[in-house]
Amino acid sequence: MLARTIGRTVVEMIQGDITTVKADAVVNAANSALAGGGGVDGAIHRAGGPDILAECRRLGGCATGDAKPTSAGRLPARWVIHTVGPVYNPLRAEESARLLGSAYRRSIEVADQLGARSVAFPAISCGVYGYPLADAADVVWETLAQTLPGHPNIEKVLLVQFNMHAYDAYEAAAPTE
C-alpha cells in the first residue's frame, strides 16, 4: 500500500471496491443530474440502497466540478459526497484538468464542512467519462497537494483504485517521499 503525508493528512492508495471501504465520507463519480448510472455510481446506489437516490432527487442536480452530500444508506460510511467530473475533451485538456481538480477540491471542502475525518475517492472521470489515467493521476496528486494543507481536520484520504492498471498509474504520479 502506498501512503503519502500531505500537510496533516495521510493519503493512502488501495485497490478494491469503494462500496466496502470504511470512511466517514465516500465520494461518488456522479452525473450532473444526480440520477444514478453505471460504474461506481451504480455500485454505490446498489450497495447503499434507495434512500441515497431519493435524497439526490431533492438536490436539483450538481454542476460539473461541484460536489453535494447525502447520507450513505447501508454503506459503511456516514455520507456520500456526489461530485461530477468532466467528460474528458482532448481538445480542451486544460479545462478538463481544471474541472477534475475542482471536483476533488470541492469534495474535500464539503467533507470538511460535514465534519468528516476520512474521505474515500474513486478515480473520478476515469471510466465512461474517458479521462486518461496518467493525466488524471497528475491532476489528483497536484490538487491534493494544493488543497489538503488548508483542511488539517481531514486526517485520511483514501484513493481507491478498482484495478491494478489504475493503481499503477496513480502510483507513478505520486509525489516522491
Q: How far apart are CA 29 and CA 88, in angstroms?
A: 14
Residue closer to ligand AR6 by CB (options 28, 147) is 28
Under rule CB under 6 A, residue 23 binds ligand AR6: no
Length of the chain: 177
Q: Which of 24, 41, 66, 112 is catalytic?
A: 41
For 56, what's the count of Cα atoms within 13 Å in the CB-facing half-sphere?
29
Q: How far is the CB of 131 from ligand AR6 (least distance, A)?
A: 7
Does 110 sit near ligand AR6 (CB under 6 A)? no
Q: In the complex, what is the shortest distance from the CB of residue 2 to ligand AR6, in angstroms, rounded to a whole number?
A: 16
CA angle 79/80/85 to nearest 5° reads 150
Instruction: Tell me which residue has cell 496513480.
Output: 170
Tell me: does residue 30 bind ligand AR6 (CB under 6 A).
Answer: yes
| Beta strands 67-71; 79-83: pairing state | antiparallel
Per CB under 6 A, does 62 bind ligand AR6?
Answer: no
Site for ligand AR6, rule CB under 6 A: 17-19, 29-31, 37-41, 43, 85, 122-129, 160, 162, 166
